Chain A
Amino acid sequence: MNPVITCTNLTHHYGKRLIYENLNFSVPEGRILGLLGKNGTGKTTTINILNGYLKPSGGECTIFGENIRHINPITKQRIALLIEGHVQYSFMNIEQIERFYASFYPKWKKEAYYELMDLLKVAPRQRIANMSCGQRSQVALGLIMAQNADLLILDDFSLGLDPGYRRLFIEYLREYAKSEQKTVFLTSHIIQDMEKLIDDCIILDYGKILIQKSVSELMDTFKKFTFKIDDAQPSLPADNEFYNPAVYRGNGELFTFQNKEYVEQYLHKHDIEHSQLMSESLNLEDIFIGLTGKY
C-alpha cells in the first residue's frame, strides 16, 4: 500500500525546548492510524506541521507525494481536517455552513451531512455557537463526511466529548472510513475506545516515537507480567526489553514484548526470589500506560 503521509527526520523545537527529533513515520492508504501520546508530546504539533500551520525546525513531510509546505489546492480538496475541539465557524448555522463548504469540494455529499444532522434534533437555523460540544462534534464530523476526502486528519477528536458522543463519533467514523476506503490520521490523548477505531498506532513519548505497530499485533504481543517478590527488593534492574519495571509492596510488574521464559531467565539472572509469575493480556489503554508509564 502506498503511503499517503510520509514524514522523514521530522524535528521540532519551541524556542529551546525540543518537542521531538528525527521522527520517521508513514500512514498507509486505507488505514486508520492513531498518533497517541500524553499531553505535551507533540501530537498537535505534528498535525499543525502536516497541515502547513507550522514550519518544522527540520525534516520533511509529504501528503499524496507533495511537500506539505506547498500543497496544491486540488490536492487540498482530498484532505479533510478536524481541528482540536471541533472548531468550526460557530457564527453560522448548520444550513449556512453546509452551503459555505459545498462550493469548495467537487465531490461534496450533501446527504451524508444532513443524515447526521437529522440525528442531532437541532433546528436548521440554530447557530453552531449555541450547540453543545457533542453536537458541534457531529457537525464537524458531518462536514468531513460530506467533503468525501481521501484523507481525514483529526486532531484530538475526543476532546470535550462525553462517553456517549465519543462512542457515536467513533462508530460513525469507523464505519464511514472502512466502507469508503478512506485513510485516517488522528490524534487523541484519550485511549479509551480507541481500539474500536484505529488499525495502527504510533505511540509518542517525549521527544521520540516509542512504537509504531498495528493495534492487533500490539495487543497480541505486548504483555504485562506480575510476580511476588520474596525479599525486600526496592526496584528491578533495568533491561532494554522491559518497559516501566516496578515494585510496589512486594509485587513486581513489568511490560514487555518478550515471553514468559525471557522474564524467568531475567529474574534468575538477577537472583530475584519470586513466585506467582503471571502474564496478562492488555487493552490498548493499559498498553499505552505500560509503554509510557504512569507519570
Chain B
Amino acid sequence: MIKAILYKEWIKTRYLFLVVAVVLVAFTAYCQLRIGNVISLRSAAHLWEILLTRDNTFYEAMRYVPLFSGVLLALFQFVPEMQQKRLKLCLHLPLPQNKIIGSMLGFGVSLLIALFAATYLIIFLYLNPILAPELISRVMLTMLPWFVAGIAGYAFVAFTVLEPTWKRRLLNILAGVAFIRIFYLSGYAEAYNQVIVWLLIITLALAGLSFLSVSRFKDGVQ
C-alpha cells in the first residue's frame, strides 16, 4: 500500500524531478565551468589561493537553487491534493492517517536528499582531482546550509499548502520565511559549521508540522 502511495507521488512529481535534476546539473556545470576557467586562465594554485583567502567557493550561483527545488516539489506534491479537497481521497484510504502523510512527506524529503546527494557527488568527483580534501570539505560545508534550506523550504510549503485556512497559511508563510532566512544570514564560507547539524535536526522535525495541518483539515477547520 505504501508502494502505491509512492507511485501516486511519483506520478505528480516525475516531470518536476527531471526539471530540477536538469537545473541542478546545469547550475553545477556552470559553477564548474567557472572553476575550469580559473584553472586554464591562471592556475590551480590560484584557485587554491582564492578558496583559502576569500569567501568565494565558486558555487555561490547555486545558493537559492536547492530552496527553489524544495518549494517547487512541495507545491507539485500538495497543491493537487488540496484542489477540490482531494486530500479526502487520500485520507479515505485504508491506512492509518499518519502513515499516509508520513509516506508522502518521506517521499518528498527522500527525493530532495537524492537530488542533493547526486549534486554533491558530481561536485566531489569534479573537485577531487583538483583540490585538497580540506578545500573540498570547505566548499561542501559552505554549500550544506543551502541544501538544508531546500528541505526547510519543502517542509514549510507542505505545512502551508496542507493547512485548510488562509489566515493560518499566511502565518505559516511568515514563520517559514523567518526560519529559512537563518540559512542565508551569512555569506562567509563555512559560517554555519557549528550549527548546521542542529539546523538540520530542527528542519527534519519541522517537516512534521504538516501532520498538524492535516489534523486541522480532518477536523473540518474552516
Contact = CB atoms under 8 A, between A and B. Distances in A.
Contact of B92 (A14, A54, A74, A76): A76
Nearest to B96: A73
A51 B91 CA distance: 9
Chain A: interface secondary structure? loop
A87 B86 contact: yes
Interface string B82-117: 001110110111111000000000000000000000
A162 to B, nearest CB: 20
A85 B94 CA distance: 22
Interface string B1-31: 1011001100110000000000000000000
Given A73-B95, A83-B89, A103-B4, A96 B11 contact: yes
A105 B93 CA distance: 9
Contact of B11 (A14, A87, A92): A92
A127 B7 CA distance: 16
B220 A54 contact: yes
A176 interface: no
Contacts of A14: 222
Interface residues of A, number: 28
B49 interface: no
A54 B219 contact: yes
A77 B217 CA distance: 22
Interface in A153-202: none
Given A53-B220, A100-B7, A91 B12 contact: yes
Given A77-B94, A87-B89, A90-B80, 8 more contacts: A53-B220, A55-B219, A81-B89, A83-B85, A92-B8, A100-B7, A100-B8, A104-B93
Interface of A: 14, 48, 51-55, 73-74, 76-77, 79, 81, 83, 85, 87-92, 96, 99-101, 103-105
